[in-house]
């Protein structure tokens, strides 16, 4: 992303944090970025919707960069998943902008997240696949199918943990081992 687009996206993020998605205008973003409206429109010809979409994509990439750093050095599939689930859950719960928008304007954010969800799921599956391959799959389990299944389940639990306390390492370890990986990995191999 070039410098002008980056400044605009960061400015849009700051505006959404203060005013919400619905009340953020191109004028607000331009003022926050220290640019003219014309400069914003040159960088984002699609206007406000394009700026908002780029801002969500930027925030998503930032999150996954931090998640990737958190799971680095995990020595097993189980440890990687536990670290990742706990980090992701805590990051979402503590993300002031996301929580504010979800409470006040979910109708503005949910369509964007729905579009992004395929990329997010695919990204998680891509990270899981090498660990699954090293761990060893249960007989008859396809690597791509297993990675996709686990990515979908992880996203589901992060957004709606049900009976699981995703801040408790012991509960997350039980979730990973007894529900997520059961039937997916080869029980003969220890993780």
Residue 4 has pLDDT above 80, yes or no: yes
Alpha-carbon distance 51 to 10, whole Å? Answer: 10
User: Which residue bears the tokens 């995703």?
Assistant: 166
93-133 pLDDT tens trace: 888 777 777 777 777 666 666 777 788 899 899 999 999 99
Between 165 and 1, the more confident residue is: 165
Contacts of 90 (CB under 8 A, 6+ apart): 166, 167
Determine the 3-state secondary structure of 8 from DSSP.
Answer: helix
pTM above threshold 0.85: no
């Amino acid at each position: 992303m070039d410098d002008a687009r980056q400044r605009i996206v960061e400015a849009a993020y700051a505006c959404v944090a203060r005013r919400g998605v619905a009340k953020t205008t191109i004028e607000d973003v331009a003022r926050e970025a220290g640019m003219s409206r014309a400069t914003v429109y040159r960088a984002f010809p699609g206007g406000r919707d394009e700026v908002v979409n780029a801002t969500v994509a930027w925030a998503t990439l930032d999150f996954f960069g931090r998640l990737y750093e958190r799971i680095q050095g995990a020595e097993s599939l189980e440890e990687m998943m536990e670290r990742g689930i706990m980090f992701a859950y805590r990051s979402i719960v503590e993300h002031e902008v996301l929580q504010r928008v979800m409470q006040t304007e979910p109708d503005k954010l949910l369509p964007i997240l729905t579009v992004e969800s395929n990329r997010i799921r695919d990204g998680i599956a891509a990270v899981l696949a090498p660990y699954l391959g090293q761990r060893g799959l249960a007989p008859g389990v396809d690597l791509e199918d297993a990675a996709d299944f686990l990515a979908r389940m992880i996203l589901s639990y992060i957004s709606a943990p049900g009976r699981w306390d995703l801040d408790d390492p012991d509960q997350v370890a039980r979730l990973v081992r007894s529900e997520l990986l059961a039937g997916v990995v080869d029980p003969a191999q220890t993780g």
